Amino acid sequence: MSNVVLQADAVEKSYFLGGKELAVLQRVSLELQVGEFVALQGASGSGKSTLLQLLGGLDRPTAGAIRFEGEPLRVQTPAQAAEFRGSHVGFVFQAYHLLPDLDALENVQLPAQVLRRPQAESEQRARELLDSVGLSDRMDHRPSELSGGEQQRVAIARALMNKPEIVLADEPTGNLDTGTESEIIDLLKRMHAERQLTLLVATHDETVARAAQRVVHLKDGRVCE
């Protein structure tokens, strides 16, 4: 039985801007093994974010295929895409993307609400997750009352809410200072080990890449050995 949980198979992605075709990804192939921590390293504009969006079902490739557990990813409709993301994938973004009018606890519960999980059950899990990322005393604080590092901890807890097999993190330390960056890297490593996650982190930062078990380099929309 294959241990490959998520795969990009000769994936291409192009956009049309001003009547011209812009090729962002060119025949990218990538396999993620169950429980693996991989860094996707490349400069800004190399296609890292685009590849994460395709792997997470936020967008569809122009050519090639995304496969989940060996089967082509079926996200032809918004409902299918939402079901896949809600059930199997957690996202962590550079800009946190927390809702400003909700407190930390409410933000973490959002993915469970999408899948219509019972309120009491989801609240209990959100409390446990916030405690696990060191924010047990900040649950009732809104994003504007939290530091950048604290907001990213909330975002990591939110990504874990529905017990995903895969977490995709897009420049998760990009908005943080050096000391806080180290804390978030350590937290991601601990969550990966404790929860047996398959973790893919897109980064341009060598420090983040060194924390991973394997590094894949992306340059000008292509995987480089």
Q: pLDDT per residue over 52-97, tens digit each?
A: 999 999 989 999 999 999 888 877 788 888 888 888 999 999 899 9
Percent of the chain with pLDDT over 70: 99
Residue 146: pLDDT band by 50, 70, 90 thresholds? very high
Specify whether the CB–CB gap between 7 and 33 falls below 8 A: no
Phi (first) and psi of residue 64, to 5 degrees? 85, -170
Q: How far apart are CA 197 and CA 74, in angstroms?
A: 22
Average pLDDT in the chain: 91
Dump pLDDT digits (tens) for 97-120.
999 999 999 999 999 988 888 889
Which pTM does this prediction carry? 0.92
For 26, 61, 67, the CA distances from 18, given in Å and listed in that order, are: 20, 20, 32
Sequence ranges of the domains in the chain: 37-62+77-224
CATH code of the domain occupying 37-62+77-224:
3.40.50.300
Q: How far apart are CA 90 and CA 111, in angstroms?
A: 9
Q: How far apart are CA 47 and CA 222, in angstroms?
A: 8
CA dihedral of residues 201, 205, 211, 213 (deg, nearest 10)? 60
Sign of the alpha-carbon torsion through 33, 56, 47, 9: positive
Q: Is the pLDDT of residue 222 over 80?
A: yes
Q: Rg of the chain over CA atoms, in angstroms?
A: 17
Other C-beta atoms closer than 10 Å to the C-beta of 195 total 15
Q: How far apart are CA 182 and CA 185, in angstroms?
A: 5
Residue 225: pLDDT band by 50, 70, 90 thresholds? low
Mean pLDDT value of segment 38-43: 93
Q: Is the pLDDT of residue 1 over 60?
A: no
